[in-house]
Amino acid sequence: GENVEQHPSTLSVQEGDSAVIKCTYSDSASNYFPWYKQELGKRPQLIIDIRSNVGEKKDQRIAVTLNKTAKHFSLHITETQPEDSAVYFCAASPGRGGSEKLVFGKGMKLTVNP
């Protein structure tokens, strides 16, 4: 089955710096890659996603890139702010047989220091 790995597990940056979170996946049939932000004690919140027919997507300060050949995708946050501090999860949707489940990575804790 699909396996999603995420690294680093923690990242600390200064306010205004950029942050990059990388994920790899194992199933070449995976076709949908969302990113979720989860603040302490809160629900996972969908912040951006990308489909397998697109290489890059941007939404204000966040962008996601996908490399299907290498089977990895990344989240880029520019001009980080303290409110960006949270755990970020990447996920992949295997898509085989019409499956809609999401397979998540273990998460990366981002700390933005003022």
Partner 1 sequence: DTGVSQDPRHKITKRGQNVTFRCDPISEHNRLYWYRQTLGQGPEFLTYFQNEAQLEKSRLLSDRFSAERPKGSFSTLEIQRTEQGDSAMYLCASSSTGHEQFFGPGTRLTVL
Candidates 50, 44, 87; CA nearest to 68 is 50
- Residue 46 near partner 1 by CB under 8 A: yes
Closest CA to 84 of 67, 57, 60, 103: 60
Q: Please list, in sequence order, all residues whose beta carbon lies within 8 angstroms of the beta carbon of residue 10, skipping any fewer than 6 positions away.
A: 108, 109, 110, 111
Q: Where in 7-36 is the site for partner 1 (CB under 8 A)?
A: 32, 34, 36
Residue of 60, 83, 98, 114 interacting with partner 1 (CB under 8 A): 98
Between 86 and 102, name the residue whose CB sits nearer to partner 1. 102
Under the binding rule (CB under 8 A), the answer on residue 64 touching partner 1 is no
| Closest among 27, 25, 22, 29 to 8, alpha carbons compared | 22
99 touches partner 1 (CB under 8 A):
yes
Interface residues with partner 1 (CB under 8 A)?
Answer: 4, 6, 32, 34, 36, 42-46, 49, 51, 89, 91, 93, 98-107
